[in-house]
Amino acid sequence: MFKKVLIANRGEIAIRVINTCKRMGVPTVGIYTPSDKHCKHVSLADKSVELHTDDNIIGYLDIDAIIDVANRMKVDAIHPGYGFLSEKPEFSERCEEEGIAFLGPSPRAMRLLGSKLSAREFMSKVGVPIMPGTLDALESPDEAIKQANKIGYPILLKASGGGGGRGMRLVHNDSEMENALTSAKNEADKAFKNPTIYLERALLKARHIEFQVVGDSRGNAYCLGERECSVQRRHQKIIEETPSCAVSPELRERMSELCIAAVKRAGYTSLGTFEFLMSAEGDLFFLEANTRIQVEHPITELVTGLDLVEMQLKIGSDVPVEDVLSEVRPKGHAMEFRINAENPFNNFFPAPGRIEKYMEPAGDHVRVDSHAYEGYVVPTEFDNLLAKLIISGRTRNEVLNRAQDALDRYTVTGIKTTIPYHRLVVRNPDFRAGNYSIDYVKDHLPQDLLKTTEFSLFEGVGR
């Protein structure tokens, strides 16, 4: 096992990694930029080092600075968390050059699956169904129009080098294509330093399904079931659950086998996620691979009994894990609610500021992963995720009832958060019945849900 681990991240995920390392007796090193000096992960790591920078975001993306800290602190492994450098093969390569274990896949596997274009081509060769679309970069509006007419509108223009909805444009006809392609390229170049755009058919009323995979250092591969992530705003998830109401046991088994085959063929090690869209007819089409730990990994932990960060540490240090993983059979149900600093009654607009009062719910089957606390000033520079409320139970209905109670007891004042929206969702008949798609938020705006929910807790909310 490693002697010391540096966490190249901040906030909630940094604390998540620190907690597992502490339990395993592995010392940790945290990093932070000037605006993060009061962030909770700084005090929880065994040692924290400031990255001196004029740009608080760039600091977490500075490979040279992070490697310098790692060498000075004599760490033998780096956990990248999610976001920032977690899916940059250049970072993984640099770790290899310095003799530091990177707790993620190899640079080769990351390049193969990290680019959406190369991942689509690879997965199609494995036999995984992919969304009809292009396998090459679009060079001009005329070419894009030609391909779109072959596939049929509406289509999505998508950035090959990243996600989170950036570089993505929905196009309904030829006349929209030129402006949409130019806009998508510019946004992708700014966000990912990669203007490469491709297109694929846009599915309406689709569901977003992802499969958690693990590859170990001995060439074994495992699939730990699926998660549904269809409740999204701006193409970013806010509620996840496992298992999905829409995935039958037969489909789960078939897709798990395909995912395992892909992991083996790619020579993939560590955690990864294969994401799919499900059509209204129940067909799954590959979207992309995430070559890192996911924000929503805790719900998989609760139904499998695994600590997925521990799995990363063990696989990275060549500790055998096949006996544990081969016996895993997910059971029960779990949901995760992302508590973001944003106003759901104002188009989920970011709402940074100072937290005046902060009280988390507690109890059996309730877990909160968070870096928030009373007096914490939510910065403007970073993602506004404050916490994740994770609920488990024997059945979906039991989880929904427990989530309703936990959300009612979750108190954050001083800033706007997504808690009121989650309270409304868990009471909504469509969601409770499992009848929802990626258009759920658009079709169930907070104001609309409020009109149909008789509950005094919401009086005056958003007004």
pLDDT at 463: 32
Q: How many CB atoms sit inside 10 A of residue 225's CB?
A: 20
Max mean pLDDT range (117-131, 158-172, 449-463)? 117-131
Q: For 369, which DSSP code?
A: E
CA angle (46, 50, 51) in 5-degree steps: 135
pLDDT in tens, 85-107: 999 999 999 999 999 999 999 99
CA distance readout (Å), 264 to 307, 333, 444: 22, 28, 41
Confidence band, pLDDT 50/70/90 cuts, at residue 124: very high
The secondary element (H helix, E strand) that includes residue 50 is: strand 47-50
Confidence band, pLDDT 50/70/90 cuts, at residue 135: confident
Q: Where are the beta strands (DSSP E) in 202-356?
A: 207-215, 221-233, 236-242, 270-278, 284-290, 333-340, 342-343, 349-350, 353-354
pLDDT at 447: 85
Report which residue type is found at 185. K
CA distance readout (Å), 355 to 62, 208, 411, 433: 30, 33, 10, 35
Q: How many CB atoms sit inside 10 A of residue 361's CB?
A: 18
| Pair type for strands 284-290 and 270-278 | antiparallel
**Res 7 pLDDT > 50:** yes
Q: For 238, which DSSP code?
A: E
Sketch out the chain's domains with CATH numbers: 5-103 (3.40.50.20), 132-201 (3.30.1490.20), 207-458 (3.30.470.20)
Cα separation of 85 and 343, whole Å? 28
Per the CB < 8 A criterion, the answer to whether 3 and 20 are in contact is no
Closest CA to 32 of 4, 2, 62: 62
CA distance readout (Å), 184 to 132, 188, 273, 283: 19, 6, 25, 28
Question: According to DSSP H, which parts of 99-200 are helical?
Answer: 107-114, 116-126, 141-151, 174-192
Confidence band, pLDDT 50/70/90 cuts, at residue 136: confident
CA distance readout (Å), 88 to 3, 20, 215, 306, 370: 24, 24, 19, 26, 25
Report which residue type is found at 314. K
Q: For 239, which DSSP code?
A: E
Phi-psi domain of 251 (left: phi exceeds 0; alpha: psi -120 through 50; beta: other): alpha
pLDDT at 449: 87
Mean per-residue pLDDT of the chain:
94
pLDDT at 460: 43
Closest CA to 25 of 52, 3, 57: 3
Give the count of alpha carbons within 13 A of 379, CB side only. 17
pLDDT at 453: 65
| Pair type for strands 411-413 and 357-359 | antiparallel
**Residues recorded for the chain:** 463
3-state secondary structure of 17: helix
pTM over 0.75: yes
pLDDT at 454: 57
pLDDT in tens, 29-77: 999 999 999 999 999 999 999 999 989 999 999 999 999 999 999 999 9
pLDDT at 455: 53
- To the nearest whole percent, how much of the chain has pLDDT over 70? 97
Helices 308-316 & 11-24 angle (0-180, nearest 10)? 70
Catalytically annotated residues = 292
- Phi/psi for 338 (5° steps) reads -80, 120
